[in-house]
Each structure stands twice: as structure tokens, then as C-alpha cells.
Amino acid sequence: MRIIFFMLLVLVCTKASAQDGRDTAITIDEVVINENRFSTPISKQNRNVYVIDKKMIAKLPARSLQEILQYANGVDLRQRGPFGSQVDISIDGGSFEQTVVLLNGTKIIDNQTAHNMLNMPIPVEAIERIEIIRGPAARIYGINSLTGAINIITKKPEQSGFLVNAYGGSNFKKDTEGTGDTFYGRGVQLGAALSKKQQQHSIFGSHDKSNGYRYNTQFENNKLFYQGNYQLGASDEIMTSFGYINNTFGANGFYAAPGDRNSTESIQTTIAAVQSKHMLSDKWTLMPRLSYRYNDDDYRYFGSTNPNAGRSRHFTNSLAAEINSTYKMNSGELGFGAEVRNDEINSSNIGEHDRRNLGIFGQYRTYLTENLNVNIGTYVNYNSDYKWQVYPGLDASYALTEGLKIVGNIGTSQRLPSFTDLYLNQRPGNIGNPELTPENAFQAEIGFKYVYRNFSLDAYYFNRRISNYIDWTRSVSTDPWQSNNLGKMVTGGLNMRSNYSLPVNDQSKLNFSLAYSYLDSEFRDGQPDLQSKYLISSLKHQVTQTTDYQFKRFSVLFATRFNERVSGPSYWINDFRLSQSVDKFTVYIDAQNIFDTTYFEIGAIPLPSRWFSLGVKFVSL
């Protein structure tokens, strides 16, 4: 209750300040959210959507996609290793398998296990913005968008040039259990762009390396990403992309502590996509897409001490094609499309399996009155293992005033069991269950959006029911973990976000953001005597706050994160970044976990202590 009171007090104070500063208002930038069929300015969205834009990304003390997402309210990142080694991601109390991740609208689904979902070849410098869509989104994004979606949008270059970003850092502690060396981390990101009237090309590469922050947590991460945009005329555009990442890390305690003290893992991921947009007429738009993902996951339980014993190797292939279309009518806008997908796995302890998926989308949006907007649609899915399923949804908004809008939505979605859930055979540790059925979600949400000059406030309440909930359980500690459909997970949640910009003078301004999420989950119809891997670990309270001050080309940002889980202690993490730009050069200093908090996000894996970094960036893009 103290957190809620503090949140409301700050909102009242910032609202009062916004009114006092009405003569020096700042225009809030409008972002257009592209939902595969409809393109909607964020101010006109009927859903709970949060955007981290490139300006905020540049200010954050973050050098990987995973580190950026730490500051997204409602997003739960559970790290096994630092700086993007391996991270589970979920939204609003869901499991790490229930959130779909997209790259420029293309789904990045890991059919082996969502542990590798964020193993993506996207350096921070290539990201334009990150869109976080909360709640079931099957009628927008299709399969596995049970609790929400995260869409990463990459930059389209506006001018030719290049960039170099290099950094180094340490916690100034020594590896007393291993080499005795001081822990360090270093990296470099390179980028180049060619921008012409009818084509734009960009290529980014990065290399990050560290000897870790405790015994056997070292990593080496290499990324390559290319994007090409081609305008064939006023009505036709093609975008191509290709990415590769090789991520190798020490996996001390990641899966089977304490026996896996020397474990290592190497994950190589390749992605490729071609998509286009064609304006067939003033009313009709066609958008086809073709994508491919290949993943090689090589885990060695004994690491280099006995590399061929306890080894698990998984190869997965996913090929998908999608076509979307919109048609504008006098009464509204119609969106429709279809997707086909083929997933395959060849694994040492899962075996060889494949499955196929067909999805059909249909949406219609219109203004029933001048202020009432309604968007209704459905997703019809056929899976080779689970046959036909239907997932409808509805969202609406009503503008009470120019700056105040009431929004609400009702949605359904599902999550297909992964190949690991179904077929894993790691006796005596973990056993899959081929009898699993898909998880299904129903969620209702209501809230409001308020914007007054340079102040904004969003607040929502939702209730979600997930049936056929999948978790890994066991009766006693000597039994293996096994995946099962357990029962029904009922979650009620409240989330609030506020932003305020205060112009100090013509050359400086202060930006303030504060967000709070509360979740209350209850598991029904289950077996209370079972031990659970994931059920009891979701967040209950979460606060994210950033304050940044900019004077000319000098800026300082202070960020605070508070997490309290259903089980385990709560913790505060505080970070900051100082940066100074001169011409095309920027020098920055990062400090993460500045008060040296000891905290855990998965099991008994301690995360990094206080860490300092120094970097320099040259940008001519």
C-alpha cells in the first residue's frame, strides 16, 4: 500500500507541475504502432501499449536488448547470466513461454524452449524502438502471444555514415575460485549505413567478451545484422534482413545446481526475413512476409572437464510465410491475413519431431460515433498436433475529452507446448509429457489514458484466466521434474505509468517517469502438494523509475527498479549513466547496481554486484 500511495502522490505532484508549466509545454512525439495489418498512432491505441524509443535507449545504462528491457514496467526478466548471456522473459505474471517476441513484425519463436527466445543478433545501436503490447494478442500476432508481445523495430537509415561504440568495465573483484584474475567486460559495436533515394542499407556488428562476475560465468557474444530497404516506386517497398549470433557462456548453476558448476553452453542463431508492402490502390494494401530461423544449442554439463559426457545438442528449424492485407471502406477498415509455419527439431535428448501450423486472421475497426472506436477480430488456428482452435477479441476506446480516453479490451489466446515440454528425456532430471494440451487465456482489461501538454498518465486493471496451465512439477525432491497441465491460473493486475517533461530553460530539461505494477495470482484446481519450477516465482510488486537531466549535450540519467516476487526477498536496483557529446563523439560512464545489492532472479544464482563501465561512441549516421 505504501508503494501505491507513493505512486499516487508523485502523479498528483507532477500533474500540478504540468499545470504550472502550461506556457512552456513540450510536444510528445507520436509513434505509429504497426500491428501487421493496422497501423495506429499510439495515442489512438485501444490496447495497453508501452514504447521504449531510441532517445530513451540512448540514455539508459544498457549495452544489450536484455538490459534495455529491465526498465520496461510489467516485463519480468529473469536472468541466469549477466549482460544478455541467457534471460527468460514474461509479461504480467505469465511464464517465459507465454510471451511472443517479434523483429519488425516477424515472430521469433523458439520451438525448442523459450530460454533462447532473446538470443537475437540485434546490437543496441540497431534498435529504433521496442513496442510492448500487454494482454492476449492472438488476433494480432497469432500463436504463443498468450500474455503479450514484444516487437523490436530496427532503424531505417536516413543518411549515410558509420558508427563505432567501444566500452570496458569491471566490478574490481577477483575470481578467487578460479583464475584469480579481476573480473572485466569489454565490447565494441560497429555500424555503417548507405542511404539513397530509393534504397537504404545498414549493417551492424558487435563483439562482447567477459570473464564473468563469479566462477564460470564468462561469456563471448558475437552479433551480425544486415537490413536493406528498397522503394520500387511510390506504392511498393521491400525490406530484407539477415542476422547471426554466436553466444558462448559459462552456465554455473543455470539448470542443475550444484552439480553443473562447470557447465558451459553455446547457442548459435541465424534469422532471415523478406517482407514487402504494396499499395494496390488508395484503399487496398498488401503485405507479404517470408522468414526463417535456425538455432543450434550445445549444452555440456561438465564443461571442458569432460566435454562429451552429459552433452545435450539441439538443432531447430522454423520456416514461416505470412500475408496480410487491409482494405479501407467508408464505414471503417478491414484487415485480414493468413500464416503458415513449419517447425522441426533434431535433438540428442528430445528426438526428431516436426509440426505444422496454419493461422487465419480477420479484423474490423470503425468509429461507431465520433468518439467511440471499436476493433473486433478473430484468429482461427489449425495445428497438426492440436487441430482447430478459435481465438476472438475485442477492444474499444471512448474519448471523453481531447486528452482523456477510456479504453477496454477482451481477448483470448493460446500457447502451444514446446518440444521440450512434450518430449524431453533427461532422466533422472527432467521428463517431458507428450499428452500435454495447449494453454488457453481469457483476459478482460479496462483503463484510461490521459495526456495534458507535457504530462501523461496511463492506468489499467486486468483479470486473466489461463486454463491447462503448464508447469514442471514433482512430488518429492528425489523425483524427476515433469511437465504437466496443472489447472487454472487466475491473475488480477493493476499497472500505472506516468511521464513528465519539465523545461528548465531554453537549453536544458528534466524528464521524469514512474511506473508501478501489482499482480495477484491464484492457482486453482491444481495439486497443492506438488513442487513447482515456475509457478511461484512471478512478480507481485514492481516499480520502475527514471529521472534524466539534459543540459545542451550533457545528460545524466538515474534509474531505479524494485521487484518483489511471490516467493523470495524483495530488492532495489539503482543504475546511472553520465554522458557528454562533443561534435560526433560521445563519452559515457555507466554504473549498475550502485548500492551493491545482492539479489536473485532464478533459483540461487546471484546476479552481478556493483559494476562500472566507461565507453566512447562516434556516430556520423
Q: What is the pLDDT of residue 31?
A: 79
Q: State yes or no: pLDDT of 218 exceeds 60.
A: yes
Q: Residue 212 — very low, low, confident or very high, per pLDDT cuts 50/70/90?
A: very high
Mean pLDDT of 488-506: 94
What distance in Å separates the CA atoms of residue 404 and residue 42, rounded to the nearest whole number?
A: 14
Q: What is the pLDDT of residue 20?
A: 43
**Measuring CA to CA, which residue among 349, 383, 439 is closest to residue 97?**
439
Q: State yes or no: pLDDT of 493 exceeds 50.
A: yes
Sign, CA dihedral 478-480-485-489, equals positive
**Measuring CA to CA, which residue among 357, 356, 490, 345 is closest to residue 432?**
345
The grid cell for 155 is: 532503424
Q: Residue 18 — very low, low, confident or very high, per pLDDT cuts 50/70/90?
A: very low
What distance in Å separates the CA atoms of residue 148 and residue 579, rounded to the nearest whole number?
A: 34
What distance in Å separates the CA atoms of residue 291 and residue 557, rounded to the nearest whole number?
A: 38
pLDDT more than 90, % of the chain = 72
Q: Is 368 helix (H, G, I), strand (E, B) or coil?
A: coil
What distance in Å separates the CA atoms of residue 124 and residue 152, rounded to the nearest whole number?
A: 11
236-245, 333-342, 400-409, 594-603: which range is least confident on average? 594-603
Q: Is the peptide bond before 82 cis (omega within 30 degrees of 0)?
A: no
Is 0.85 topped by the overall pTM?
yes
Mean pLDDT of 106-120: 89
Q: Which residue has the cell 486472421?
A: 361
Those residues whose C-beta lies under 8 Å from the C-beta of residue 126, and which sit 6 or more positions away, are 154, 155, 191, 202, 204, 225, 227
What distance in Å separates the CA atoms of residue 53 and residue 269, rounded to the nearest whole number?
A: 26
CA 405 centroid distance within chain: 26
Q: Which residue has the cell 549516421?
A: 621
CA 6 centroid distance within chain: 27
146-172 pLDDT, tens digit each: 999 999 999 999 999 999 999 999 999
Q: What is the pLDDT of residue 525?
A: 76
Q: State yes or no: pLDDT of 8 exceeds 50.
A: no
Q: Residue 19 — very low, low, confident or very high, per pLDDT cuts 50/70/90?
A: very low
Q: State yes or no: pLDDT of 9 exceeds 70.
A: no
**Measuring CA to CA, which residue among 245, 320, 258 is closest to residue 290?**
320
527-537 pLDDT, tens digit each: 777 888 776 67
Q: Is 94 helix (H, G, I), strand (E, B) or coil?
A: coil
The grid cell for 172 is: 574490481
For residue 179, count other CB atoms closer than 10 A to its CB: 13
Q: Residue 562 — very low, low, confident or very high, per pLDDT cuts 50/70/90?
A: very high
Q: State yes or no: pLDDT of 275 exceeds 70.
A: yes
Q: Is 255 helix (H, G, I), strand (E, B) or coil?
A: coil
| Cβ 147 vs Cβ 90: under 8 Å | yes
Fold exhibited by the domain 2-619? Maltoporin; Chain A (2.40.170)
Q: State yes or no: pLDDT of 27 exceeds 60.
A: no
Q: Residue 567 — very low, low, confident or very high, per pLDDT cuts 50/70/90?
A: confident
Mean pLDDT of 250-265: 89
CA 501 centroid distance within chain: 26
Q: Residue 32 — very low, low, confident or very high, per pLDDT cuts 50/70/90?
A: confident
Over the chain, what is the mean pLDDT? Answer: 90
Which residue type, as a one-letter code, is found at position 65?
Answer: L
Long-range contacts of 565-574 (CB under 8 A, 24+ apart): 565/537, 565/538, 565/539, 565/540, 566/521, 566/536, 566/537, 566/538, 566/539, 566/540, 567/536, 567/537, 568/537, 568/600, 569/599, 570/541, 571/597, 571/598, 571/599, 572/597, 573/597, 573/599
172-194 pLDDT, tens digit each: 999 999 899 999 999 999 999 99
Better pLDDT: 221 or 8: 221
Q: State yes or no: pLDDT of 523 exceeds 60.
A: yes
Q: State yes or no: pLDDT of 291 exceeds 80.
A: yes
- 50, 294, 504 from 29: Cα distances, Å: 13, 37, 19
Q: How far apart are the first and last CA of the chain?
A: 47
What distance in Å separates the CA atoms of residue 550 and residue 505, rounded to the nearest whole number?
A: 11
Hey, what's the torsion of the CAs at 484, 357, 391, 69, to 10 degrees?
Answer: 70
426-430, 545-549, 563-567: which range is least confident on average? 426-430
Classify residue 5 by burial, with Cβ atoms within 10 Å: 0-12, 13-18, 19+: exposed
Q: Residue 264 — very low, low, confident or very high, per pLDDT cuts 50/70/90?
A: very high
Q: State yes or no: pLDDT of 22 exceeds 70.
A: no
Helix, strand and coil percent figures for the chain, each rounded to 5:
10, 60, 30
Mean pLDDT of 303-319: 91
Q: Where along the chain do its domains lie?
A: 2-619
Q: What is the pLDDT of residue 614?
A: 98
73-108 pLDDT, tens digit each: 899 988 887 666 788 899 998 888 899 999 999 999
Classify residue 477 by burial, with Cβ atoms within 10 Å: 0-12, 13-18, 19+: exposed
What distance in Å separates the CA atoms of residue 362 and residue 359, rounded to the nearest whole number?
A: 10
What distance in Å separates the CA atoms of residue 482 and residue 293, rounded to the nearest whole number?
A: 28
pLDDT more than 70, % of the chain = 94
Q: State yes or no: pLDDT of 16 exceeds 60.
A: no
Q: What is the pLDDT of residue 29?
A: 54
Q: Residue 447 — very low, low, confident or very high, per pLDDT cuts 50/70/90?
A: very high
For residue 600, count other CB atoms closer than 10 A to its CB: 15
- 12, 23, 435 from 512: Cα distances, Å: 13, 19, 50
**Measuring CA to CA, which residue among 516, 514, 518 is closest to residue 538?**
518
- 239, 326, 332, 346, 419 from 352: Cα distances, Å: 33, 39, 47, 4, 10
What distance in Å separates the CA atoms of residue 264 and residue 250, rounded to the nearest whole number?
A: 4
Return the H-helix or E-strand segment holding 588: strand 585-592
